[in-house]
Structure 1
């Protein structure tokens, strides 16, 4: 359910979800992660909503995992079991939700933020924003959905490079590769989103819902085939010395020195 880290507003058959940690670039902590794992299940069960808009408060869409939250998982790795269970729920629930989701990508979408963006059915991105999955840069396996989503969305050729390097794409690069549907100046972001909202809110609801139910079948099959193994590898990398080094380096504002351990 929504909480201080996740705002929900429902008006005129439109549910607007706002990731609400602007002082932390909307990085995901435990509270937000739990809320994200439930919100699409709750909304998906409703019949008074025709479209969902997902966005971020402030300058970022979502900067990925909060570093202090990651530190907690290092100190108490058993807590990571809950995190990984929730990670699966986020991916599954966004794909299972028959209500179309529009991603209003108002700023950088990184790590889990990129996964959230790619799971949206329609995306509109600020031309100055970036997107990518830098899990490897903090010594973690990219298991919260990016590992299977990026190859499906943009093809294996470039996806393998991006997942192995953690490099970010500009909005225009992401559009050219097919990861993002629309790129506009920040001043035009709301107008473009609202034009799309109008089409979905006033469209043939059952046809729209069941069209999504159909085209997500291959992705849902991939998700269920990938997530358990990916999460298991992420649990292993959470225990690795390289991940611990990355957390310490970030806290001390230095470059990590990885040893492969």
Structure 2
């Protein structure tokens, strides 16, 4: 598959005109490190330009869809804050890459989708999840602002009141809860997930390709405008939170397998 041969952390499979994109760091539950994040920043543009596919299925290798950001990578960003400038730039490219990808992108949540993993899943066009999967954006749990897209997409899917409850607490929800409130489309037994996603992908492949693509792009006009108005500010806030004592405490606590102890504001 020469079109995607230079990826080290993402796998690609073809099934007719369906392209499966697989996040491939299973040993870390597909958490993003610097290398995977850089690949995610360009993959959706290249997928959109791929001449041999009409529908994309995005999933994760192993037990999870994606556990968000790798904690060791977070420590690297604390130690070298200037490196976070690249992370912010790539975060915008990931979100806008998904919004602007003309092909329908189906998220197949084979396991948990948290943090950046949840953001990527929720910016997909249709989302199927296995019953055991959990979804959430626990940026605040590690002293981080939910700046990489969560502040954009969560309120659009479940309203501001529910979105703020989950973004301000970092709580995870079950796939069943997520489907019930409209955060995702479908929750299915794990042993039926592949077949359900394949059937839906095949239905789209058999449809009027240009009409489907341009309908997606029409629907996403408002979402793109919203992301344009929010992403710079939310990422700037996230960059500020990257150098706070609370974020360092949370990363250190994770490494030491203990609860973080956050400082009170003004102390």
Q: What's the TM-score, normalizing by structure 2?
A: 0.96
Aligned counterpart for 1:103 among listed residues 107, 123, 137: 107
2:97 maps to: 93
Query: Aligned residue pairs: how many?
Result: 261
After superposition, what is the alpha-carbon deviation per residue over 1:198-237, rounded to whole angstroms, capped at 9, x for unaligned? Answer: 1111111000000000001111001010000001000000
2:254 maps to: 250
1:204 maps to: 208
Q: What's the TM-score, normalizing by structure 1?
A: 0.98
Gaps of 5+ in 2: none
Aligned counterpart for 1:154 among listed residues 158, 163, 174: 158
Query: Secondary structure at the residue paired with 1:128?
Result: coil
2:44 maps to: 40
Alignment of structure 1 residues 104-143 onto 2, 5 Å? 104-143=108-147
Cα distance in 2, alignment partners of residues 48 and 204 from structure 1:
16
Query: Secondary structure at the residue paired with 1:259?
Result: coil
Query: Secondary structure at the residue paired with 1:253?
Result: coil
Query: Secondary structure at the residue paired with 1:216?
Result: helix
Runs of 4+ in 1 over 4 A off after TM superposition: none
2:181 maps to: 177
Cα distance in 1, alignment partners of residues 264 and 136 from structure 2:
23
Cα distance in 2, alignment partners of residues 206 and 216 from structure 1:
15
Cα distance in 2, alignment partners of residues 8 and 260 from structure 1:
46
After superposition, what is the alpha-carbon deviation per residue over 1:24-83, rounded to whole angstroms, capped at 9, x for unaligned? Answer: 111110111011110001111234321000000011000000000000000001111001
Q: Is the 8 A contact 1:242 1:260 kept in 2?
A: no
Residue 184 of structure 1 deviates from its aligned partner by 0.4
1:53 aligns with 2:69: no
1:232 maps to: 236
Alignment of structure 1 residues 65-76 onto 2, 5 Å? 65-76=69-80
Alignment of structure 1 residues 186-197 onto 2, 5 Å? 186-197=190-201
Cα distance in 2, alignment partners of residues 224 and 46 from structure 1:
25
After superposition, what is the alpha-carbon deviation per residue over 1:85-125, rounded to whole angstroms, capped at 9, x for unaligned? Answer: 00000000100001000001000000001011101111110
* Alignment RMSD (CA, Å): 1.0
